[in-house]
Amino acid sequence: MPVDQLLEQLHLGDPRSVARAISLVEDQAEIGQHIMQGLDQQRLDGALTVGITGPPGVGKSTLTSALVEQLRQREIRVGVIAVDPSSPLTHGALLGDRIRMMHHALDRDVVVRSMATRGRLGGLCAAAGATRRIMAASGCRVVLIETVGIGQSEMDIASLADITVLVLAPGFGDEIQAMKAGILEVVDLLVINKADMPGASKLRFDLGREAAESDRVLETVAAENKGIEELLAGILALEAAFRKDGRFRQRRQQSRDKETVDRCLDLLRDRIAGLIRNHPPADMDPGVAAEVLLERILHIPG
């Protein structure tokens, strides 16, 4: 299919064209760049990306699915990106996510994409960034990105998002001990899921006074759709506030810059590896070899 036609179908929301476009961009084909440049800028600006992160097992996928349900009730088209940073050997997690999204499988206004890190976080950020833009251009008003973990790398992926939601659950409080002070500085909303389980109020207490008193801490029972409407309302209220006070624009710029750096580093890594393969450095100290190579690479036109 010619790229113009693909773009036209994509902007009409055709699921297969969306999937095809994402694959072409992931393969870093030249056509991928044409696609990215042809995306409707207004739709990109208007769409909201929400990062949903937290330790495995707290209920992120269940919560994501419940949010999708809630959005669809409001007839809002939604994209979901499920990121699995584990090795390709544990595809079980990805599959689980897919199955949980199954009841949306026939809904053409729910666009789902899973991706694995393949050990390249920079590449992943770039891929997730491009994917959310394609989804947005296809008419998704909201794109949810589910990532596992609360480490720096997951926060990096989450930093792609306009709004970040950290999900915790009773029994998972230990994971955040190290960062509990100021946790609300890194995330926009904190969700205590599995509020039906004993320990939910203790978790809230453990998060400290700041968190306990904040209206940015919400409780949900994702498995029973409880608190989801309030969570969505909270997300949309934050979006409105951020758009008004300029933070939305500022974050978009930051995430674009970060994506650009990541993309550069990826390209550079490939090019350097190629150079070393073709012209193995003589018996040089790697530190010296790196200096020499970098000097050369920065002077060689692509």
Nearer to ligand GDP, 186 or 223 (CB): 223
Q: Kindly give, in sequence order, each residue whose CB lies less than 8 Å from that of residue 57, ignoring residues fewer than 6 positions away.
A: 169, 172
Residue 88 within binding range of ligand GDP, rule CB under 6 A: no
- Which residue minimizes CB distance to Mg ion? 61
What burial letters (b/e) apply to 269-291, b meaning 16+ CB within 10 Å? Answer: eeeeeeeeeeeeeeeeeeeeeee
Residue 223 within binding range of ligand GDP, rule CB under 6 A: yes
Q: How far is the CB of 61 from Mg ion (least distance, A)?
A: 3
DSSP-assigned letters across all residues of 145-168? EEEEBSSHHHHHHHTTSSEEEEEE
Q: How far apart are CA 219 and CA 123, in angstroms?
A: 34
Q: Which does 1 bind (CB under 5 to 8 A by kind): ligand GDP, Mg ion, none?
A: none
Count of residues binding ligand GDP (CB under 6 A)?
A: 14
Nearer to ligand GDP, 113 or 194 (CB): 194
Q: How far is the CB of 281 from ligand GDP (least distance, A)?
A: 45
Contact 84, 116 (CB under 8 A): yes
Q: How far is the CB of 267 from Mg ion (least distance, A)?
A: 31
Q: How far is the CB of 259 from Mg ion (least distance, A)?
A: 24
CA atoms within 13 A on the CB side of 5: 3
- Sites for ligand GDP among residues 41-70 (CB under 6 A): 56-62
Q: How far apart are CA 146 and CA 60, in angstroms?
A: 7
Q: Which two tokens stand for residue 64?
A: 């994501």
**Site residues (vs Mg ion, CB under 5 A):** 60-61
Nearer to ligand GDP, 109 or 154 (CB): 154
Residue of 197, 212, 240, 284 interacting with ligand GDP (CB under 6 A):
197
Residues that bind ligand GDP (CB under 6 A): 56-62, 193-194, 196-197, 221-223
